[in-house]
Structure 1
Amino acid sequence: MSFWTAVVIIVIVGAIASVLKARYNAQHGITEDMMGNQTLNVREDRNEAAEAAQAEVAELKERIKVLERIATDANSADAQERARISAEIESLRTPDQTPASPTPANKEDLSE
């Protein structure tokens, strides 16, 4: 490999590195002034996305609280008592399946 081939390869590697660095900085909102100082510019669309993500996390936390309450309340004595009372009320709401007049077997029992 000659000296000039090595120089060309070094220049190409440097150019590729600077392009990749500029691409990375552009993707992350980093700008550079004339003095070489880098500053981070926060984009509005990223702020909106962060706010939406925070709102979704808050909603999911609320859902988890409800699920935890459901899981723990069903096993408490108070919840079991409410379930028993609710079942009793429902059984009273449904009409009884007993006939109004006694069956023939019942008539024999009654006549004796």
Structure 2
Amino acid sequence: MMTFPFEAFAPVAALLGVLGLGAWVFTTWLRIRHGYPLENSWGKAVYPRTSDETTERVRLLSTENAQLRAELSAVKDRLATVERIVTDGSYRLDREIDALRGPAN
């Protein structure tokens, strides 16, 4: 009966362990770099400490976001009005009449 040579398997197991640890460090670094929340060993998010500066920045960005949304809404309303005018039948008829009159001299 042949026994399994554990001595030959030990370097492979060590290499796999080191590669696994390196991969874990790399993915953690990527998560930190791109702003993803970190997780502890129980799968719960580990949030960094928030400072007054961070809170103020979030407040300012939220305010700016609200202003930009309001501006976008106003632009959408104006665009809808322009589309309604352009697709209106009488406006199209006026353009066709003007085209038939020819260029103004």
Q: TM-score, normalised by structure 1?
A: 0.44
TM-score (norm 2): 0.46
